[in-house]
Structure 1
Amino acid sequence: MSVHGGGGAGAALEVVRAGALTTVQDGGRPGYAHLGVPRSGALDAGAYALANRLLGNPAGAAALETTLDGVALRATAPVTVAVTGAACPVRVAGRPAAWGAPVRVPAGALLDVGRAAGGVRAYVAVRGGVAVPEVLGSRSTDLLSGLGPALLSAGTLLPVGPAVPDPVPAVEPCPLPGPPSELVLPLRLGPRADWFTGASLAGMWRAVFRVSALSNRIGLRTEAGSALVRARPGELPSEGMVLGAVQVPPDGLPVVFLADHPVTGGYPVVGVVPPGPALDAAAQARPGVAVRFVRAR
């Protein structure tokens, strides 16, 4: 059954509870690395895209990305929302509501997106999109450069864009995702794999690392596992970095660059994790989760 409605004239979402870290994200701002501007954008690209599809939004419509403990929002006018990503309880005006499906929020009602039962980041999309001003063609908050809207705080008013007049498309309910018990990352070696010993590289395929609590939107840091050993001394001059680059600092423990990564770096990059489901899973991996690298096919 289709659900009508979206952002009407003057519709907005007022932040009542901001959560640990809630940001506005869209598809990011690619094409500005030469100016020192990271791409940014939603960390779990698949979950973000699904939230917009559920509402019939354009693919690049801005949504909210929460971290661990969700967010609470009050609608100033009737809106339709969808929550995806990390499985979490959803309530509207105190009553349980669907996760992974379009949900109607009446004017004045409180939408409460609760603590993640598994995973890290949930995506809260609204029909019409979150219509904060664009910066360099994107509404994304970039934690590294500071571009885009500020981190959400109580009292922030988020305007909602006008929805297309078509009804929200009928969709099948989304299955609840299971929390990743092990993060398996396909790795294409290079460009600086020759900076590490052959034995160290061979050991990397057998090693089991763990997600560090120091991980964030800039990069997934690892701990434990077998540290990679340099085959040569010295440092590299800074060179360009891409999404998924696996940089190895002096402690030998790999760091996987995520959406807010710097555009240059001086530590050797042992390889690159291609964009796709594996990097999406990295956005949902909690501290302590096992990490293994496998050869990319």
Structure 2
Amino acid sequence: MTDRALAVVRAGALTTVQDLGRPGHAHLGVPRSGALDPYASRLVNRLAGNAVDAAVLETTLDGCAVRPRCAVTVAVGGAPCPVTVDGRPVAWGSAVRVAAGALLEVGRAVRGVRSYVAFGGGVAVEPVLGSRSTDLLSGLGPAPLGDGTVLPLGPPPPGPARFGTTPWPAPPDELVLRVRLGPRHDWFTEAALRTFATRPYRVSPAGNRIGLRTSGPPLERAVAGELPSEGMVLGAVQVPPDGCPVVFLADHPTTGGYPVVAVVRERDLAAAAQAVPGTPVRFVPVGGGRP
């Protein structure tokens, strides 16, 4: 048994293996998946000396605890949280050396939602369709972590770890999502489009890796019929029967039957990954969008 591995002591609410995803397979019904906050995933990999596309752990709200079987460089970033090694506080947002057999504890997020944990060499589970990412919708990739799970690590990276502090964007106090009107915006009344662009929404606690759900004023339909299923893209803002927009995230379905009123710019979606329930949301049309 190789010592280039780690054992999961506490899996937390939802901890998954993620890299930068498996784009290019929507025609097979496979979404991109990958880290919901790719900026954070890339940065912790750089801190650990890895290539930016190495697989990391993505935690949700309450972190996780792992015990590496070998000495390894670790970096924790994304949502700020306490980090300890054998009970002693260590730096968040910087590379940390963890001895073989020591307990690395990634604590509850004090702001934001998702923390990212990179290990020197990356998490080396078997790739599926070119990615090691867990896809909650299709079931591809490794299962979400459970207590006792053992994950292999790759060879130590050739690049040096970065032990200095690094600036990080703060989780949003207000989530501003820039949008272009979508292919079915004409299924909504002019008043609904004004509401969408001017009224505040809030992040709903019902969201997950598939989509960020919102609560707020419902959008009135101008067309009462139903659509056949059609292709969906990352960032699509779909409006289900309750009228409240849903922003599709990395594990989104590749087809859907509810009308898409707009599409969020991809660069804004990392902030959506860190928006806690109750965060105000504003949709801002750009590029000639109405009203």
Q: TM-score under structure 1 normalisation?
A: 0.94
- State which of 66, 71, 81 in structure 2 corresponds to 1:88: 81
Contact map agreement 1:87 1:176 (CA 8 A) in 2? no
1:20 alignment partner AA: A
Q: Structure 1 residue 53: deviation in Å?
A: 1.1
CA distance in 2 between counterparts of 1:161 and 1:233 reads 54
For 1:18, the equivalent position in structure 2 comes to: 11
The CA distance in 2 between the partners of 1:214 and 1:250, in whole Å, is 16
What residue identity is the alignment partner of 1:204?
F
Contact 1:25 1:62 in 2 (8 A): yes
> Separation in 2 of the partners of 1:110 and 1:13?
10
- Structure 2 Cα separation of the partners of residues 166 and 50 of structure 1: 14
Describe the superposition over 1:196-235 as per-residue Cα deviations: whole angstroms up to 9, x where unpaired. 11111012111111111100000000112x2111111101
2:279 aligned with 1:292: no
What amino acid is aligned across from residue 100 of structure 2 in structure 1? A
Q: Tell whether 2:231 aligns with 1:229.
A: no
2:256 maps to 265
The answer on whether the counterparts of 1:141 and 1:151 sit within 8 Å (CA) in structure 2 is: yes
- Aligned match of 2:127: 134
Q: Give the alignment of 1:97-246 within 5 angstroms.
A: 97-168=90-161, 170=162, 172-175=164-167, 177-224=169-216, 226-246=217-237
CA distance in 2 between partners of 1:171 and 1:50 (Å):
13
Q: Secondary structure at the match of 1:16?
A: strand
For the residues of structure 1 that align with 2:47 and 2:226, how far apart are their CA atoms? 48
Picking from 218, 228, 242, the partner of 1:251 is 242
Amino acid at match of 1:199: A
Give 3-state SS (helix, strand or coil) of 1:185's partner: strand
CA contact (8 A) 1:128 1:160 kept: yes
Q: Which residue of structure 1 aligns with residue 35 of structure 2?
A: 42
Distance 2:151 2:208 in 1: 24
Distance in 1 (CA, whole Å) between partners of 2:221 and 2:189 is 6
What code does the residue aligned with 1:240 have? G
Deviation, 1:11, is 1.3
Instruction: Name the Cα RMSD after superposition.
Output: 1.2
Matched, 1:54 2:47: yes
CA distance in 2, matches of 1:244, 1:270: 11
* CA-CA distance at 1:178 after TM superposition: 3.3
Counterpart AA for 1:262: P
- Residues 144 and 261 of structure 1 are in contact (CA less than 8 Å); yes or no, is this contact kept in structure 2? yes
Give the TM-score normalised by the residue count of structure 2.
Answer: 0.95
Change (3 A) 1:103 1:83: same
| Cα distance in 1, alignment partners of residues 174 and 50 from structure 2 | 32
Letter of the 1:109 partner, please give it. A
Find the residue that maps to 1:205 and give its secondary structure.
Answer: helix
The equivalent position to 1:70 in structure 2, one of 59, 63, 66, is: 63
1:165 Cα deviation after fit:
3.1
Aligned length: 286
Identity of aligned residues (%): 68
Quote the Cα distance in structure 2 between the aligned partners of 1:275 and 1:51.
Answer: 20
Once the 2 structures are TM-superposed, how far is the Cα of residue 174 of structure 1 from its aligned partner?
A: 2.1
Residue pair 2:41, 2:52 contacting (<8 A) in 1 also: no
Residue identity in the other structure for 1:123: Y
State the distance in 2 between where 1:166 and 1:117 align. Answer: 31
Note the residue ranges of structure 1 that are not aligned, 5 or more in a row. Answer: 1-8
What CA distance in whole angstroms lies between the structure 2 residues aligned with 1:35 and 1:165?
Answer: 36
The alpha-carbon deviation at position 239 of structure 1 amounts to 0.5
- Contact 1:209 1:222 (C-alpha < 8 Å) held by counterparts: yes
Helix, strand or coil at the partner of 2:198: coil
